[in-house]
Structure 1
Amino acid sequence: MRLFRRHPPRSTKRRLLSWLVVAALTSLALAALTASPLTTRLDNILYDRLQRASARPVDPSILIVGVDERSLRELGAWPWSRARHAAMIDRLTQAGAKAIVYDVLFSQPAPDPADDAALASAVTRSGKVYLPQFLESDGQDGAPPTLVGPLPELAQGAAGLGLAHVRFDADGVVRRMAPFEADGPDLAPDLMTVVHRATKAFDAPDATRGSATTLLIPFAGPPDRYRQIAFSSVLAGEIPPDLIAGRTVFVGLTAPGLGPAFPTPVTPDAASMTGVQLQASVLDGLRGGKMVKPAGLVSRLTFALSLLWLLLAGLLVLPPRANLLLLASLLAVALGVSAALFGVAHLWLSPVAAILGLAVVSLLWGWGQLGRVNDLLGHQLDRLRSAGPASARDEAGFESDVVARQAFSLGAAITRIDDLRRFSADALFSLPDATLVADAERRVIAANAAARTLLCRAPQATGGGTLAGALNALEPLGRTFPPTWPTEADSGRAIDLHLADGRAYQLQTVFRRDEAGPKDGGDAGWILRLADITPLTAAMRQREQALQLLTHDMRSPQTSILALLATTPDLPAEISERLAACARRTLALADGFVQLARAEVTQTTMEPLDVCDVAVEAVDELWPQCRQRRIEIRQEGCDAPMMVLGDRGVLARALVNLIGNAVKYSPDGAGITVRAAAVLDGGRTFIDLAVADQGPGLTSEEAALAFRPFQRFDRPGAAAADGAGLGLAFVQAAAARHGGAVTCTSTPGQGATFTLRLPEAVG
């Protein structure tokens, strides 16, 4: 008996009708998408990539004279006197400049009328100077902008005037220019339109005379590709006339922050192309005939719909695999044609709308095939649920359609996943750690071999007993588990169990739910793991014993030395003091080493506590030293409790070390601030306890090394020279054990701030 029902093939008429519906709907949608601005952002991204990939040589006849940082250093702060600008125009004119584009607006009279007269005279003598105009809005809604130009005496002698107007796209990037801008009922030419028409050859192409209202700027590359010389170098006569002769010279602001800078497709950041560099790029594109014209709506519709109908025709007559190849080919054609028109014909015809249309129609057409696959998958899932004997191999010849065969393959994969699930369960129970599985009532329903071996003296515990009973059968020292153990709060919490025979185990439980979830009674039960940590416990015990022995052996001789020095008055005072200092240093080193080792490995006893109270205890402990040196410690931010989950003794020692360091390094009579604050970091709330001193501070390199063991930074006159270099290492170990961190921020000569960050106690 077959598990699946064969679906009769659809008629040709129905298939054609479906094709016509898909074709009509997608054509209308694609036309609307092409005419709308919805793809503008994607269009701009693709255009910018093409622009950056099409770098070309710049026009060698363009030269920029920049008001750069060197000029500002040599000539003084901007703005400069107009007599200096007049001298520049005379220099460029005498050197034989073909045209001088002076990108500075002289719209207001100078304090000294003689300066304006000198500049006007220089402009008139040159006869090659082109000056900018600007459209200025008065801020009233609907009011036309006002045309602002240079002083009348300057405009009268200029070779030409034009708008220096920058057009921004919706994303704030400059990609285009307008040969003419509306000035009330008239059209005002762009400055580069004026310069280009005045300086081009008679038969040279002129993109400003076309029908396009805007032109895309063909940036030749980053702005530094145009040759640039310093304003001060020209005035000083350092530039040979041959470098200027016959060139179109742009004079403008290029120093960072001195004038406006604009984001463009070829600049890596939002402020790297100055206005004079932007104008040079526009003139370069106009002269080279490389200005890019945006394609019109008719061209864009024809391009997008042509590709779409080619794909639709393929869907009607080609098999699925061939249609996949056709789709990839059409996508490549869309990108290739757009790139070719951009690079060769200087026409921007975005393929984004066409690509989206091809993708949408492929999805719509594929939904029909997915409907058949859905029916087949339904039968396969029924077979999987009922665990019937039929296999995918028995039905392999049922359907010759590629998509249907993929559905059968998926059914076989589901079968393999089911086998893999059983394999995973077998692997779980073959783990070396003792593992028990219990139901929602905490009754043991399965145990692996390691668990049965461990509980061999209580076999009933692994065959229907409770988890608590199984653990109590081990007779752990100092602990008895109640029948209601574990609870959901115990899930994931590690518990150490020690047995009478010296063995030690780490117990961990996981609360799990079945696929139905809690709404449908989905509590599935528990998984319990007992990991043998006997060797680790023995090693830790031996380590502690060795540490105690080492500490005793180090302390006893030093204590004896101090006692002997105290009872031996015959030694010179200097030698006696040096020996005593060395002995005390060794004692401090031993104590610090023990504290650090225990902070790193000793099990901490966590409890909710107010970190402000712990700070008060640390301040009280250091009060004698502070009083002796007249140091005042202020506490801030402790108006309300700052609760953390921690070990009171460890945190108290850590704060004593931090505040003690501040006291050691602070000068007599200084102030120390202990500030508590709650901060949000990564979605979690932390308590920051910052200790700020007025000591000599640390360099950035010293701050990075401050928490290394035995790291000390001696300062002239600082009491910290007696330390062993383990205090901050202890603080870092304590912070790590509490799930926090400690940081240092400092500036030499301005003190240091050490911040201990601890997770806030929840609940």
Structure 2
Amino acid sequence: MKLRRRLGIEWAGVALAASLIVTGLIYWNSLANFDNLLYDQLSEYDRPAAPDDVLIIAIDEDSLAAFGKWPWSRDRHAELLALLADADPKAIAFDLLLSEPGDSAEDMALADAAAKNENLLLPLHFVFPGSNGADFDIKEPIAPLKQAASAIGHVNLLFDRDGVVRRTSLCFRGIADPATSMEVTWPHLMEQVYRSINGGISPAFSRRPDCQKPLLMPYADRGTFAQVSYAAVANGEMPGAFLKDKIILVGATAQGLGDQHPVPLGDGGTMAGVEIMANLLNDIREDNFITPVSVPTQIALSLIPTWILLIGFWRWRPRTTIFVSVGLVICILAASAILLSLRIWFAPGAALVGLALVYPVWGWRRLQATSDFMDDELKNYRSDTPDIPVLQAPLGPVDLVTEQAEELAHAIKHVRDLRRFISDALTNLPDPMFITDLDGKVKFVNKLAQTGVEDGAQNLALDDMLKRFVAPEDLDDVKDYLALDQNLREHDYVDFTSLNDEVFAMRRARVLSDEGDLRGHIHYLADITEVANAAQEREEVLQLLSHDMRSPQAAILALLDGQDATDDNRRIENHARRTLALADNFVGLARIKSSEFSGEEILLSDLVIEANDSLWPLAKQRGIQSSVEDQTDGAFIIGEPSSLYRSFANLIDNAIKYSPDNSKITIQLRNIAIDKQLFVSVTIADQGNGIAEDMVDHLFERFASNDLDSKGAVKGAGLGLNFVAAVIARHGGTIRAENMRDSGACFTVLLPLAPDPVEPA
């Protein structure tokens, strides 16, 4: 439990830390470079095709060679636009920034040429930061061109942290004038091309509540868009039919013009801005953008593999865990690739980091916790290990964990040896023994308990096991014993006769765990056949004493009755009575110790009066008055009438024997309370010489007697008071003897008052 609790706490800590780290990595986009690199590799396998109706008129090296270095005069562009107007294309996106005024005549000529084209779209761009406290400045085409154009749109590019153009925004929104604080939205130039051709906004634009939110652009392979040289078109080398119904993008592709940018292609090269625009236009037309999952979705998807692995730590073996970890990595990459084919981007970096984090960290913490636990348990083991005759090989120098593993291996071997030692010891016990679990199934039997059970005793039900040992007439007694609560038993064993007429004493003991939890029971059968035979012989001796020895003495007394009271007759009578009393006391003591208490409700005053009346002839013979004073108002006790009657008769007889002639014996009964418990007190006081001082402390011991002051006809043998003390103790009472101040001895008996009867409900 201690190890489980610690591992549970540390598992929760690892789970919480990993979840927070994964969430933080996603929230702050800390793995953008890794995710972008993976995105670039995966996007290689599903690139869109370039459409046939998009044509790039490129200001390339051939054009620079034909018309001179850049920038060219605006008349050159006016000639191109005039030529394109005659070819009747679908739309023209003139991706050249013409925001600075030039020669007014050239500007007007360019504006007139631009006005001849129905769908001419011109770019604007933004300069960051802006002037006069503005966030940005807007660089629009010169006024004549702006008026001649069908629409204008922004052409700013979005660069990721690594400088690669992977994303775009379909619009740009911002406050153009800080004085008015009015927000203005500028659609992208390619969105304007789409609108000029289709007469409405694109599905991608209309579907997004925030058109400025970046979208991932799928790129066609470099060079797949149709491209012709600016010089070839301007020199009339391209027939008008080739240009008709084309979407024409005019832009710079020459390396020296500064419009080359890194894009996510496998070759790692750059792409001209106009070709980037062509890819963007294709994505807008095909509604082919890749949408990144939202941040909450990204967090949830990234945490799922981590939590699968965390939960699996509790159920899987380490070998299974490593295979599952590799499988989860493959699943994450596969899921990212599949979603990318569905135009959804799930960045797998944080999910992979989560797996890479929890596996070694949890392995480290589990190893540390297990190492500490093994260290503590091995220390406890070494301190608690019993000394048994087994050998242990010495350990060599190794690292800590290996040393603990070796110690654990030796401890397990030692436990096996200890188990074998205990098993051998139990198996070879001189009496039958078997162990049952909490379900009453036999889990272990020793050699003697297995004897005669040909089909084995393992997993036998307890009742079936008992039927193989216990004689049918004693089976119920054994089951009653086993049904008793062990803490409430009056006797800790039960004896029975076996099917082979052997006598066993069955004892049951609990099997407890180290924490004190009940695990089963041990049943031990001690062979007491010889003891039982001895008990039978003792009973026969008691019968001899109680019948065969008493009968001759009673016959002697009967023969002497009516004979002359000669000295010889009196001597014979005295010895016969003494022998008879000795036999009665001896038999009474023996039977008390060999039988269970079986009490009933007794009115104690009646029993004492009856005992006193039985001795009236002896008292009258010597002129002694013996009276009973009852102050109990009918007190009942729980007792055995015969033994109690004999006890009080012995006490009254002793009082008569040690009282002088013509004296008085007082017997008093009253109720008293001691420590809130009610008792009946019986005091018997005589007027004799009292008890000798050296006898007071030994009066109730066996064979303790002093007959010097006895006036009776029968001298004591020292068993009468011993019998009385045994009977009173058997009834839960006490007896005390003392000398009174004036003269005489006083015996006080305390017996518990019977509880009030429970009235039926």
What TM-score comes out, normalization by structure 2 length?
0.47
Rg bigger for which structure?
2
What TM-score comes out, normalization by structure 1 length?
0.47
